Amino acid sequence: MEEIHVYLTGRLGNQLFQYAFARNLQKQYGGKIVCNTFDLDHRSEKSKVADEKFSYAMAGFNLDSNVVLEDEAMPWYADFCSPAIKVIKHMAPRQYFDFMAKRGYLMWQRSDYVSIPRLESNKVYAWGWWQDVRYFHDVQKELSDEIVPVTAPLNENQYIYDAAGDEESVCISIRCGNYFNPTVKKLLYVCTPQYFYDSIDCISKRLAHPKFIVFTDDIDWVKDNLKFENNYPQYDFIYERGCDTVEEKIRMMSMCSHFIISNSTFSWWAQFLSKNDDKIVIAPDRWFVNGRRIGLYMDGWTLVPAGQ
């Protein structure tokens, strides 16, 4: 195989899953990874569920040595935004996937897993979320070694790094932002304040002296609404500054020993990149409000009931 073109959508967490999928194909077939930024550059600002224009977010990681970028629209028959394809993917998603896969296009924008057939094309084009560990099971070590920031840690965050180095440090990742958008909230808002309280109670039974480090995209909202210090005066809560790059932030998060995550791809990658073999990961028992399954749950996780 000469080239693997992967269509990027969303923020860093989503983009990393799309890269991981391409990286797994690369290990199987060889070839160059080409990241397509057309959606990020030309469509994301028009999204009704995004709170900002998305952009290529992986430039600050070592993986950049493995990829090149392109900004090209997909042909209409392989474009999920095409009116005709929108109907087809809704009415017959698997039939469309099988038909296109034979022609070198892997088109699967769903959360359920689809088996990838043997590929014969010299060039392959992939468009999907690919949020299932089975899509990149064989390159987990490579991903852990490659998704590493190329920049040095910031001195301003030394207080976070010092705390994260504690063997009982706990990263609490709280997703706000567009999860409060009415459309997105109906789909993904499961991590209520009660979920985080129950998760803290759960992990506190397993750690003698937990030190909680809070990461979020809305620090003021978290402080005003969750009031961790009032509810748990016996514990220390440390907050990120809220102004760091995504690579600096995910490095701080992944250095923690244990994790309370949200149903967020960014949260997921933070715990995945942790080097602690004995980490505790607390996660919501549902990723979607309607209970729809997703293949991101990993062995050994502790699941806490999510809110209604």
Convert 45-90 into a string of H (helix), E (strand) and C (coil).
HHCCCCCCCCCCCCCCEHHHHHEEEECCCCCHHHCCCCHHHHHHHH
- Residue 64: per-residue pLDDT: 73
The answer on 140 and 174 residing in a single domain is no
The answer on 57 and 128 residing in a single domain is yes
The answer on 166 and 289 residing in a single domain is yes
- 243 located within any domain: yes
The answer on 264 and 218 residing in a single domain is yes
Give how many domains the chain has, as a whole number. 2
| Confidence category of residue 177, pLDDT binned at 50, 70, 90 | confident
Beta strands of 114-235 (E only): which ranges? 123-128, 169-174, 211-216
The answer on 76 and 204 residing in a single domain is no
- 185 pLDDT exceeds 90? no
- 62 located within any domain: yes
Percentage of the chain exceeding pLDDT 90: 87
Residue that terminates a domain, selected from 100, 119, 144: 144
**Mean pLDDT score, 4-32:** 96
Give the distance from CA 270 to its chain's centroid.
8
pTM of the full predicted structure? 0.94
DSSP for 8-50, please give it.
--SSHHHHHHHHHHHHHHHHHH--EEEEE-HHHHHTGGG-SS-
Q: Could you tell me if residue 130 is left (phi over 0), alpha (psi between -120 and 50 degrees) or otherwise beta? A: left
The answer on 165 and 40 residing in a single domain is no
Show the tokens assigned to 101: 């896969």
- 15 located within any domain: yes
Residue that terminates a domain, selected from 95, 124, 144: 144
The answer on 171 and 42 residing in a single domain is no
Residue that terminates a domain, selected from 144, 173, 188: 144
- 149 located within any domain: no
The answer on 117 and 88 residing in a single domain is yes
Structure confidence by residue, pLDDT tens digits, 61-93: 998 777 899 999 999 999 999 999 999 999 999
- 12 pLDDT exceeds 80? yes
- Residue 48: per-residue pLDDT: 55
Structure confidence by residue, pLDDT tens digits, 103-156: 999 999 999 999 999 999 999 999 999 999 999 999 999 999 999 999 999 999
- 230 located within any domain: yes
- 170 located within any domain: yes
The answer on 253 and 126 residing in a single domain is no
The answer on 174 and 280 residing in a single domain is yes
- Residue 243: per-residue pLDDT: 94
- 51 pLDDT exceeds 70? no
The residue range of the domain holding 282 is 155-304
- 150 located within any domain: no
CATH of the domain at 222: 3.40.50
Residue recorded with tokens 């490095």: 251
- Higher-confidence position of 271 and 50: 271
- Residue 187: per-residue pLDDT: 86
The answer on 109 and 34 residing in a single domain is yes
- Residue 152: per-residue pLDDT: 96
DSSP symbol at 174: E
- 257-272 burial, b if ≥16 CB within 10 A, otherwise e? bbbbbbbbbbbbbbbb
| Confidence category of residue 214, pLDDT binned at 50, 70, 90 | very high
Mean predicted lDDT score pLDDT of the chain = 94
- 224 located within any domain: yes
The answer on 300 and 189 residing in a single domain is yes
- Residue 28: per-residue pLDDT: 95
